[in-house]
Structure 1
Amino acid sequence: MSVNAVTHLNFRGDAREALAFYQSVFGGELVVITYEDAGATGGAAEADQVMWGQVTAPNGFRVMAYDVPSDLPWDQGRNAFFLSVRGDDAGEITGYWDGLSGGATVQQPLGPAQWAPLYGMLTDRFGVTWVLDVAAASF
C-alpha cells in the first residue's frame, strides 16, 4: 500500500483563479468541480465556486483547493502552513520561483543558503507562502 500527502488549500471565492495560476507555473492538468456540478449549491452566488479542484503535473507536483462556503467559518490565518517545493534541478526551481513571484511578497530572495544550494520563500498573490529549494546532496 502507498499513500500520497497532498496540500489542500482553502479559499473564499479564489480557488479557481489560484488553481489556474498554479497550473500556469507548474504545468499539468487542472480539474475543477463546482458546487453546481455536484448538485450541492447553497445559493446562486456560490454555484460556480470550486467544491473540489486539483492541479496534477507530470513532474509530481500536485495541489488541491476549494472555496469554503459562506455558511462556514474561514480564516486564512498567518503562518498556518508553508507549501514546500523541493527539487534537484536549480533551473526548474528557478522557473517555478519566477512564475510564482508575480505579485508576490518575497520573504527570502531565491539564492544560496547554508543548508541548500538554492532557497527562497515568498507569499504569492493569493496569500499562500511557498518555500522553494534545491535539496542539498547531504544534510
Structure 2
Amino acid sequence: MRVMVIVKASPSSEAGEMPSTELLEAMGKYNEELVKAGIMKSGDGLKPSSTGLRVRFRGNERIVTDGPFAETSELIAGYWLWEVASMDEAVEWVRRCPNPMNEESDIEIRQFYEMDDFSENDPEGKVAAHEDELRTSVVMQDSTLAPYLFFAGRCDEALAFYKQALGANVAFLMRFNESPDGVPEGMLQNGFEDKVMHATVHIGKLTVMCSDGCDDKSSFDGFRLALSLPSEDGCTRVFDSLAQGGSVDMPLTKTFWSPLYGMVTDKFGVGWMVMVPGEPH
C-alpha cells in the first residue's frame, strides 16, 4: 500500500529554525535505510507557512490569503511517500525516525486512495484508465529517448568514422572484458571478449548509445536517424562524409518541407536523413 508520512509543523519549523548538523546527518542515514529497504519513493521538507499561500473556494470565488497560518498543529513541515505492506510496517518505520523537531513533534501516517476504491462509481474502468494514462504522461515528462545501435563487431571502426564525419564525442566506453559483473558464459560470440559492450556518444545535441552486440548478426533495418543542420553548406559536407563507403539512397535536393534534403546509408548500414529544416508552418 502507498502511504504519505506527514511531519507536522511545530513552533520551531514555523519560525524557520534550521535543523542542526547532527539532525541532518541522522535524517540522512534514516532516509538511506528507507531507500535500501525499497520503501521510500519520494520525500521533502517544506518551508514555513509564512512563505506560502492559501486559496479558499467560495462558490465561483477564489480567495488567496498570504501566510503565515495560525493553526500550527494543522500544518505540515515535510513528508515522505512510502510503499509498505501494511500500516503496522509504516508505524514500525516511523518509530525508528529521529525526532524531526527541536521540541515534541508528531508524524502522521495517511493511506492513499487507490483506483480500486472507486470501482463502484467507475464500473467500466474508464476513469481508472484515464488516470493510468495521466500517470504515464507524468513519468514520461522527465524521460529521455536515445537510439541504441548495434554494430556487429565494428563499433570501434564506426566510432572512428563518426568522429571524422560528424565530430562525434565519445563520452563513455566499456568493453565486455571490463564489465564489473562479468559476462554470462556462452553469451558472446568467440572473439568478442574485447569488443565494445556499451558506449555513449554525443553527436551535436543528440545522444546515441551503441555496442558491438554479442555477435556479428546485427542489422539496421526499419529506421533512419534524422540529422538537421542549420546551413546548406554544412548539410552537403555532412551528407558527403556519411556517404563515403556507403550508398546514396536519395541525393540532396529541395523538397516542399526542406530547402535541402537527402537520404544516405553509411558503410555500417545505418540509414540517415540529412536536411536543413524548412520554415515552420
TM norm. shorter chain > 0.5? yes
Aligned to 1:51: 197
Question: Aligned to 1:113, what secondary structure does the other structure show?
Answer: coil
The separation in 2 between residues aligned to 1:63 and 1:89, in whole angstroms, is 23
- Is 1:64 the counterpart of 2:209? The answer is yes
Larger Rg: 2
The separation in 2 between residues aligned to 1:19 and 1:123, in whole angstroms, is 16
TM-score (norm. length: structure 1): 0.83
Question: Aligned to 1:45, what secondary structure does the other structure show?
Answer: coil
Which structure features the higher share of helix residues? 2
Aligned to 2:270: 128
Q: How does 1:1-139 map to 2 (within 5 A)?
A: 2-30=142-170, 31-39=172-180, 40-41=182-183, 45-57=191-203, 59-70=204-215, 74-76=217-219, 78=221, 80-139=222-281
Q: What is the total number of aligned residue pairs between the two structures?
A: 135
In percent, how many aligned pairs have the same letter?
29
The separation in 2 between residues aligned to 1:75 and 1:46, in whole angstroms, is 14
TM-score (norm. length: structure 2): 0.44
- Deviation of the 1:28 alpha carbon: 3.8
Q: Which has the higher contact order (CA 8 A, sep 6+)?
A: 1
The separation in 2 between residues aligned to 1:126 and 1:8, in whole angstroms, is 14
Which stretch of structure 1 is more off in the superposition, 60-69 or 97-106?
Answer: 60-69
Report Cα offsets for 1:3-54 as digits up to 9, x if no partner.
4322111121011211221121121422321101114345661121110012
The 1:115/1:3 distance shift into structure 2, 3 A limit, reads: same
**Is there any run of 5+ residues in structure 1 with no aligned partner, and where?**
none
Q: Is the 8 A contact 1:19 1:65 kept in 2?
A: no
The 1:132/1:74 distance shift into structure 2, 3 A limit, reads: same
The separation in 1 between residues aligned to 2:202 and 2:277, in whole angstroms, is 22
Point out 4+ residue stretches in structure 1 off by more than 4 angstroms: 41-44
Q: Is the 8 A contact 2:220 2:270 kept in 1?
A: no
What is the alpha-carbon root mean square deviation over aligned residues? 2.2
